[in-house]
Amino acid sequence: MGRIVLKNVTKTFGETQVIPPLDLTIEDGEFAVFVGPSGCGKSTLLRMIAGLEDLTSGAIEIEGEDATDVPPAKRGLAMVFQSYALYPHMSVRKNIGFPLRMAKMEQPEIDERVETAAKSLNLMDYLDRKPADLSGGQRQRVAIGRAIVREPEAFLFDEPLSNLDAALRVGMRLEIGELHERLKTTMIYVTHDQVEAMTMANKIVVLRAGVIEQVGSPLELYHKPRNVFVAGFIGSPKMNIFSGTEAEKMGAATIGIRPEHTGVSMTDGMWKGRVGVAEHLGSDTFIHVHDTGLADMITVRITGDIAVKHGDTIYLTPQADQIHKFDAQGLRI
């Protein structure tokens, strides 16, 4: 089914190379997430896979066949856009049925498939509405419906949730996850939000300036970031990363410790600091510690609650086996 292989692909817009030579394999049935800061080339890469952008060089294989010069519609891929890209003059029913109509399918079969998709997406009550009369989440579901009726080899999502509010985003995240479990179809999902990447992916591809920094499962990236960039990008709150004498003592140019791997005490510990803002979430407490001499600010995450005030003196002790060490090039030691 939907195995996608990128071989040495590059993309240049005018003079600027957005994607330097890049190799990547996405296995059949995988949920792959491209994650990276804005402007790093995630959308460009996805559009190249979809066929909406030509490759400057290299090749794309879909299901073992060269698809480099295959037109977009013939690649068997369905894409969900950030802006949803629904057809504003058509009802929901017509929107979802549009790819089938373009494939010259018989009307009764179109109706049947549209209804099946609409049922699975809870859109039955809205079939005769126009996109303008739907909420953001409903529009998103129509866009997904339009993708699933085609029964594609793979789904491509380009930041599909970034126009939704936070609560809806969590819900849609789960729905897309469910969809993947149910269909077992390859999905490639682009986001700049590492939480989305961590919660949804089987395989995360971390990109920076068009270069793949690391490919791996969410937990691999969490526990064994290949370099400083990935270490800082994956995880929330961010890993504390600093260099200096403390790092050299451990035989590294730079070290990182995650907020949740740092113990605190009011009496003694490895590093002394002053409490800045403490965020009490109930289940967790985030303490921002200043004046440690390590970095401007060290963030610590404590399970449960702890009684600290702004300005208190606090001692931090990192869990020794959870310290990430990096060499002068920023690579993991």
Partner 1 sequence: MSDRKLPRLLQTPAVLLLLVWMLIPLGMTLYFSFIRYVLNSLRRPEWTTPSFSNWRGFGNYEFVLKSKDFLFAIQNSLFIVCSILFLTVILGVLIAVLINKSFPGQGIVRVLLISPFFVMPAVNAVLWINMILDPVLGLQGIAVGGINDMITGLKDAPLVGWFFSMWPELHPISFRATQTSAYAVIIMVTWQWTPFAVLIFMTSLQSEDQQQKEAAVLDGANTWSQFRFLTLPHLARPIAIVVMIQAIFHLSLYAEIEIVSRGNGNKNLPYLIGEFANNNIGAASATGIFAVILANIVAIFLLRMIGKTLME
CA separation (Å) from 85 to 79, 219, 225?
Answer: 10, 34, 36
Q: Determine if 43 is a binding residue for Mg ion (CB under 5 A).
A: yes
Considering only the stretches 34-42, 100-108, 226-234, 243-251, report the one whose residues sit in contact with ligand ADP under the rule CB under 6 A.
Answer: 34-42
Cite the beta strand spans of 27-153 per DSSP E: 31-35, 57-62, 65-66, 77-80
Considering only the stretches 31-39, 90-98, 228-236, 293-301, report the one whose residues sit in contact with partner 1 under the rule CB under 8 A.
Answer: 90-98
Residue 327 burial (CB < 10 Å; 0-12/13-18/19+)?
middle
Closest residue to ligand ADP, judged by C-beta, is 43
The dihedral sign for the CA sequence 242, 245, 250, 252: positive
C-beta of 147: minimal distance to Mg ion in Å?
Answer: 18
C-beta of 123: minimal distance to partner 1 in Å?
Answer: 17
- Location of structure tokens 């690579």: 331
Q: Determine if 52 is a binding residue for ligand ADP (CB under 6 A).
A: no
Nearer to partner 1, 190 or 212 (CB): 190
- Can you tell me which of 42, 139, 141, 146 binds partner 1, judged by CB under 8 A? 146
| Structure tokens that stand for 227 in this block | 């370099």
- Can you tell me which of 42, 169, 203, 301 binds ligand ADP, judged by CB under 6 A? 42
| Structure tokens that stand for 299 in this block | 């963030």
How much of the chain is in helix, strand and coil states, percent to nearest 5? 30, 30, 35
Q: Determine if 41 is a binding residue for ligand ADP (CB under 6 A).
A: yes
Q: Residue 122, by phi and psi: left (phi above 0), alpha (psi -120 to 50) or beta?
A: left
Q: Determine if 191 is a binding residue for ligand ADP (CB under 6 A).
A: no
- Can you tell me which of 11, 42, 139, 150 binds partner 1, judged by CB under 8 A? 150
- The one of ligand ADP, Mg ion, partner 1, none whose footprint includes residue 72, by CB under 5 to 8 A per kind, is partner 1
| Ranges within 113-172 binding Mg ion (CB under 5 A) | none
CA–CA distance, 91 with 99 (Å, rounded to integer): 14
C-beta of 101: minimal distance to Mg ion in Å?
Answer: 29
User: Nearest to residue 48, comparing CAs of 16, 79, 92, 14?
Assistant: 79
Binding site for ligand ADP (CB under 6 A): 13, 18, 36, 38-44
Binding site for partner 1 (CB under 8 A): 50-52, 72-73, 77-79, 81, 83, 85-90, 94, 98-99, 102-103, 146, 150
